[in-house]
Structure 1
Amino acid sequence: MSVTFVDAPGTPRETGRTHGAALAAPLRAFLDDGVARLGHLTDAPLSLDGLRPSIAAYRSAVAAALPDLAEEVAGLAEGARLTEDEAWLLQLRRELMGYSKVRTGGDCTTYARTGPVPVLAQTVDLNGDLDTHITVLRTPRSLVLSFAGLLGYLGINRAGLAVGLNLVLGGAWGPGVPPYLAIRHLLDHAGSVGEALKLLADLPLASSRSLMLCDRERAVYVEHLGGELRVGEGPEAVHTNHFLHPDFAPADELNVFARNSSVRRLRAATEGLAGLGERASAEDHFAVLARPPIRVPGRGDIRAERTVAAVVLFPDSGELHLRPGDPALGTSRLFTLSTP
């Protein structure tokens, strides 16, 4: 499974240009494949022209809240020779797709632990066959796992903070900061879980999500719904795709089949983490992530979520361990915040 590594130092504009230039050909092909593959995932026909009003609304919200990342998107467009609307579409695919209540496969399973070797590990379950467009992006402040031109998805930073995420479904989605870009903002500017929570509280998030935050002292999940946040914390934190906080649980929009999958994966991840020593290796964690029901195999349907990657993050040592594709079949690769 191919992974593109992009080392992108410099100003936000320069970082974007480097990122875009490294991926110019694959991003052009991705955009031309059913409007960034969105046409394969929705019933109604889509066009870039039809999406432009929504793109403009999200773009305005992001530019107001996170001007540095808006500048980086402009650099991405320049480097990849895309229009700015195309570069923004790559950041907004998940928000523009909205969410369906008919979900039966799964989505990401995430856990974190503090202690002498803090760790955050998760599967990445997506539709759209996005394991064909995996990138590891190293910026001046962070090391980020990315897909198809996204500026952020999950990762670690030089201050010893790791951030992961889970999709949760609820509330109204609309123009605001996509959680993927919010994660990149936290990695660029937060020095700890506490600082990340303060930054997150100030962002107008576009959609429901749960973020997992981990440093040497704290492991927390942060659920977002309708402009409000709820936090769960412990030496170990585990999350899948249903709301865990009692304030948000009644608003959960998962159907019964998806919820049953989420509950099974939550139980399996909790038990798997409990069985690992506090100095467990990346391969020990991958063994947990590669087992069913945590690992969600493909079934040949581009619309169905499947595990397209698994990651183990060690924020103290600045290491991102990645198994691209199905983690039960792939081999691990190591990326670091330091110069190779």
Structure 2
Amino acid sequence: MSITFVPASGTPRAIGRAHGEALAVPLRAFLDDGLARLNHLLAAPVTAEALLPSTAAYRAAVTAALPDLAEEVAGLAEGAGISEDEAWLLQLRREIMGYSKIPTAGDCTTWARAAGPGGRTPVLAQTVDLNGNLDDHISVLRIARAGSPRRSLVLSFAGLLGYLGLNSDGLAVGLNLVLGGDWRPGVPPYLAIRHLLDTAATVDEALKILAGLPLASSRSLMLCDHERALYVEVLGGELRVTEPETGLAAHTNHFLHPDFAPADELNVFARNSSVRRLRAAGEGLAELPPQAGPEDHFALLSRPPVCVPDRGDIRAERTVAAVVLLPAAGTLHIRPGDPSRSGTQVFAL
């Protein structure tokens, strides 16, 4: 399965333009496929015109908080030959879908290990569980912003400016969907993650930046640098940080912090899956030797229940990729599609 590699450098607009030019043909096809596949996933069909008020509200919020990324979206539109409204739709698909209490099989299993005894090096690993069959639109962006020595590797799907990744300072960021609170116009977590990779050198800096963003929706973000591994849960604009003393952190799709757990909106079927995957991840992570490499992590990422199989339903989440990030080495290791059936591809800063 192919992964498009996009090296992009310069001003935000130039970075967006390079991204758009590299993916012009597949992005046009994606937008024409049931309106970025939204109409294959939503209970009732929508039109681009009907979505304009919602996308405009999110666009205004992002432009106010993160003007550089808004400029990059404009460049993406230019490079791909699509409208700016279409480029924003690509950034906002998950926010538009919102959340509903429907049975689901999974939505990412994530863990991180801080440096520690026995030569343990920092690592962040996760499955990417999405609906919409998005494993045919995987890209890796290598971002080099003008005026900054920082470089980033970003995993992207179908024109997203951000999803997960790492930067040259040794900060890695992953994520899990958690459901709760009111989702409202603001900065989508995918774009927030990209902003962290652009601007933060450490977990501590990332937490401070994250606290100042008007986040649009609930998520859990896994953060890892040379010294720390933790997750921060987001609900209704509030943050809760959990940093295990063991240096081993794992998360799936239900809130773990006691302040947020009562507000969890995950349905019982999805919660059962989330609990099983969290247990399997925690036990598997604890058993990995200190010097475990990417392939050792992929072995765990590829096993059920961590790896969620394809049930033949485009509306159901399944594992569309597995990723191992090595912050100290500056490498992103990825297996596209079902990781038990694909080989590892490596991208370097």
Other-structure match for 1:315: 327
Match for residue 194 of structure 1 among 182, 204, 216: 204
| Whole-Å separation in 1 of the counterparts to 2:83 and 2:330 | 34
- Give the secondary-structure state (helix, strand or coil) at the position aligned to 1:310: strand
- Give the secondary-structure state (helix, strand or coil) at the position aligned to 1:9: strand
| Whole-Å separation in 2 of the counterparts to 1:272 and 1:309 | 19
TM-score normalised per structure 2: 0.96
Shift of 1:121: 0.1
Matched, 1:135 2:139: yes
Alignment deviations for residues 196-251 of structure 1 (CA, whole Å, 9 cap, x no partner):
00000000000000000000111010000001000000201100000000000000
State how 1:138-177 maps to structure 2 within 5 Å. 138-140=142-144, 141-177=151-187
Shift of 1:103: 2.8
Structure 1: gaps (5+ residues): none
Other-structure match for 1:10: 10
| Whole-Å separation in 2 of the counterparts to 1:104 and 1:204 | 28
- Give the secondary-structure state (helix, strand or coil) at the position aligned to 2:193: helix
| Whole-Å separation in 2 of the counterparts to 1:103 and 1:65 | 34
| Whole-Å separation in 2 of the counterparts to 1:161 and 1:277 | 22
Matched, 1:257 2:257: no
| Whole-Å separation in 1 of the counterparts to 2:103 and 2:289 | 34
| Whole-Å separation in 2 of the counterparts to 1:260 and 1:94 | 23
State how 1:256-295 maps to structure 2 within 5 Å. 256-295=268-307
Other-structure match for 2:21: 21
State how 1:300-339 maps to structure 2 within 5 Å. 300-337=312-349
Alignment deviations for residues 19-66 of structure 1 (CA, whole Å, 9 cap, x no partner):
000000000000000000000001111110010100000000000000
Matched, 1:218 2:228: yes
Instruction: Tell me the amino acid that sits aligned with residue 199 of structure 1.
Output: I
| Whole-Å separation in 1 of the counterparts to 2:302 and 2:43 | 32
Alignment deviations for residues 91-114 of structure 1 (CA, whole Å, 9 cap, x no partner):
000001111111321110000001
Q: Which deviates further from its counterpart, 159-168 or 103-112?
A: 103-112
Other-structure match for 2:123: 119
Structure 2: gaps (5+ residues): 145-150
Other-structure match for 2:37: 37
Other-structure match for 2:148: none
| Whole-Å separation in 1 of the counterparts to 2:29 and 2:296 | 37
- Give the secondary-structure state (helix, strand or coil) at the position aligned to 2:9: coil
Give percent identity, aligned residues only: 76
Matched, 1:92 2:92: yes
Matched, 1:247 2:282: no
Instruction: Tell me the amino acid that sits aligned with residue 206 of structure 1.
Output: A
Shift of 1:277: 1.4
Alignment deviations for residues 283-306 of structure 1 (CA, whole Å, 9 cap, x no partner):
000000000000000011000000
- Give the secondary-structure state (helix, strand or coil) at the position aligned to 2:126: strand
Shift of 1:279: 1.5
Alignment deviations for residues 233-286 of structure 1 (CA, whole Å, 9 cap, x no partner):
020110000000000000000111110100000000001111111221110000
> What is the number of residues matched between the two proteins?
337
Other-structure match for 2:73: 73
Alignment deviations for residues 67-112 of structure 1 (CA, whole Å, 9 cap, x no partner):
0000000000000001000000000000011111113211100000
Alignment deviations for residues 177-199 of structure 1 (CA, whole Å, 9 cap, x no partner):
00000000000000000000000
| Whole-Å separation in 2 of the counterparts to 1:137 and 1:110 | 21
Other-structure match for 1:108: 108
Q: Which deviates further from its counterpart, 274-283 or 209-218?
A: 274-283
| Whole-Å separation in 2 of the counterparts to 1:143 and 1:259 | 31
Cα RMSD for the two superposed structures: 0.6
- Give the secondary-structure state (helix, strand or coil) at the position aligned to 1:155: strand
Instruction: Tell me the amino acid that sits aligned with residue 316 of structure 1.
Output: A
Q: Report runs of 4+ in structure 1 exceeding 6 Å deviation.
A: none
Other-structure match for 1:53: 53
Instruction: Tell me the amino acid that sits aligned with residue 155 of structure 2.
Output: L
